[in-house]
Chains A and B, each alone.
Chain A
Amino acid sequence: MKAKLLNMNKSTRSNLFTVGVIVIVYTVFQTMSTTGNMSNLLKNLLVAMCYYSIMAISLNLTVGILGQLSLGHAGFVCIGAFTSAFFSKIMVNTIDNTIIRFSLAILIGAITAGIFGVIIGVIVLRLSGDYLAIVTLAFGEIIKNVLNVIYIGYDSNGLAFSMEDTASLNLMEDGVVIIKGAQGISGTPRNANFTIAVILLILAYMIISNFINSRSGRAVMAIRDNRIAAESVGINITKYKILAFSLSAALAGVAGVLYSHNIATVQSTKFGYNMSIMILVYVVLGGMGNLRGSMIAAVILTVLPEYLRFLRDYRMLIYSIVLIAVMLYNWAPACIEWRKSHSLKDLIGTVVGKNRKEKKGA
């Protein structure tokens, strides 16, 4: 057994370790929850921890692995949340089996977000750096704004669509309005629970981690590190950029599915720039390119403000300071000097896990 473990590929061992830790944390939380040893506050956050973690690791694929800053990640979460909630609400009486219906909802959320990832990727990935960041922000805002004015309902005649108001849908008496503009979708079946959320988190983690450690993932990182050299060894730049970007979008869509089937009400205004920045904070704090770090940061930053009530008002302020501090810590010449003269291992509290730059210095 031991020999077999040693023989294993390094990335497989690392995956196994991470999944093991997630399962242990899950077991502890789940036991606490069923034996009544968990506050309602924390209980309500269990699924949220998972979807924020999925958002963080999926964004890390774009920021840490592809090396491009996306400020519209919440837009893909939004698409996943809306399309899956739409599907579940329509099908709630048609497909009785919850597991089948919810599985389909997950697929639909992921695929639609993935398709949007391809479309937006084709457009934005021709740019890079600051321009790419601002265009992803633009797309995120467009998605949010458009969903904010959409009304969709159905009756015995089929689906009706409007960008005016509920009345202009002209629904018959048996009609139901599903998407109500700014009010979004409410009454989505609450199919998400902690177990399903953890399973999806593990799947998302495995997909991204395996991707990174495969031929395609290496191609993506090669493009990140040096586009011209990657071209010179025959790597199709556009293909791999879009591949990574749309995979990241599809997994953000999965997080959206969990979101809408946990809270039961989705409004597009929740998925704006602020959410995108929050996810970015998880990625930056956890270390760019470090999936475990992203998950740890997402969990801590989801739970902490709920417990430290006095921190709640300062939450956003702390996020902003975290962003600036981590960047200065990693890149400011004075900090680099200081890090050299002090042992890195004493400072694990400042930045969770290793990140790329630190490896370089080590």
Chain B
Amino acid sequence: MEMLSVKNLGISFGGLHAVDSFSISIKKGELYGLIGPNGAGKTTVFNLLTGVYKPDMGQILLEGQNITGLSPIEINKAGMARTFQNIRLFDNLSVLDNVKVGLHNEIRYSTISGILRLPSYRKTEKRMNEEAYKVLEVLGLENEAKNLATNLPYGKQRKLEIARALATNPKMLLLDEPAAGMNPSETDELMEAITQLREIYGITILLIEHDMKLVAGICENIFVLNFGTKLANGAPSEVLNNPEVIKAYLGE
């Protein structure tokens, strides 16, 4: 069962092929790592997959559904959620409200019933709170619920981004450098949280990461990107020992 199937994806900016013939196939429930040197085009791949950029060529299928060229909103509704490398939280909302914004399309009531505080508002808000707390607990943020997102320490902000993405009930989660700026113990906590959310939600994950310990520790497969194209692809043990990959990283 394929969750994500990408064929020959490409985009250029002013003549530069930022991503060129990118193809990947990710099975349902799999945890895939996307690595590569700085400027290799990893985040651009994420932006293409989530509709921030429209691809010049290629095709993206999410569980068989063609999502190529759709808007970020439609792609999220189709079941793909993401986090951002440069953290993008709703700074002036509480941690709880950040997750509740993620639940926006999952649990609904109308604007009118919100303004008039109809019974459906109370009932639905209660359910939203319960759901939001469930997600926060998975990431160990339940005690921060009432704090403003902007006041969280860095590591917890990254986790909150994951929580918010999870709240949209995605089939597939894209994590852009989730461990960036974390200390080793925070990274360990994060790895545990990722393992746990896979167990609970059975979710498929593609993650960009520079921390090789994390990548080698939890990814089942790794895709190495260099200058916008594939350099290697396969199990961590073989990919990370691939001389080409080592060369690209050490920049010979």
Contact = CB atoms under 8 A, between A and B. Distances in A.
| A–B interface present (Cβ within 8 A) | yes
A216 interface: yes
Interface stretch (A52-60, A233-241, A325-333): A233-241
Interface string A209-239: 0110111111101101110111111111100
A215 B105 contact: no
A309 interface: no
B31 interface: no
Nearest to A210: B115
Nearest to B128: A215
Interface stretch (B3-11, B96-104, B244-252): B96-104
Interface magnitude class on chain B = 35 or more
B88 A228 contact: yes
Contacts of A233: 76, 81, 101-102, 104-105, 164-165, 167-168
Given A219-B104, A226-B91, A234-B168, 13 more contacts: A9-B125, A213-B114, A214-B114, A215-B100, A218-B100, A226-B89, A229-B88, A229-B164, A232-B84, A233-B81, A233-B102, A233-B164, A360-B92
B212 interface: no
A119 interface: no
B109 interface: yes
Given A225-B91, A233-B101, A233-B104, A207 B115 contact: yes
Interface in B118-154: 121-122, 124-125, 128, 148, 150-151
A214 B121 contact: yes
Given A218-B101, A360-B151, A234 B77 contact: yes
A234 B116 contact: no
B111 interface: yes
5 closest A-B pairs by beta carbon, nearest first, are A214-B114, A234-B76, A229-B88, A225-B90, A231-B72
A35 B27 CA distance: 80
Contacts of B108: 215
Interface string B163-179: 01101100000000000
A214 B111 contact: yes
A229 B90 contact: yes
A232 B93 contact: no
A230 B52 CA distance: 12
A203 to B, nearest CB: 10
A9 B115 CA distance: 14
Contacts of A207: 115
A contact face: mostly helix, strand, loop, or mixed: helix
Contacts of B101: 218-219, 222, 230, 233, 235
B92 A356 contact: yes
Given A232-B72, A232-B76, A235-B101, A211 B115 contact: yes
Given A225-B90, A360-B151, A235 B104 contact: yes
18 contacts: A210-B116, A211-B115, A215-B108, A215-B111, A215-B124, A218-B93, A221-B93, A222-B90, A225-B91, A228-B72, A229-B90, A230-B101, A231-B76, A233-B104, A233-B164, A233-B168, A234-B73, A360-B92
B81 A232 contact: yes
A226 to B, nearest CB: 5
Contacts of B84: 228-229, 232
Contacts of B90: 221-222, 225-226, 229-230
Nearest to B82: A232
A359 B111 contact: no
Nearest to A234: B76
Nearest to B151: A360
A221 B122 CA distance: 20
A320 B212 CA distance: 56
B44 to A, nearest CB: 15
Contacts of A216: 111, 114
Contact of B73 (A217, A218, A224, A235): A235
A299 interface: no
A9 B150 CA distance: 23
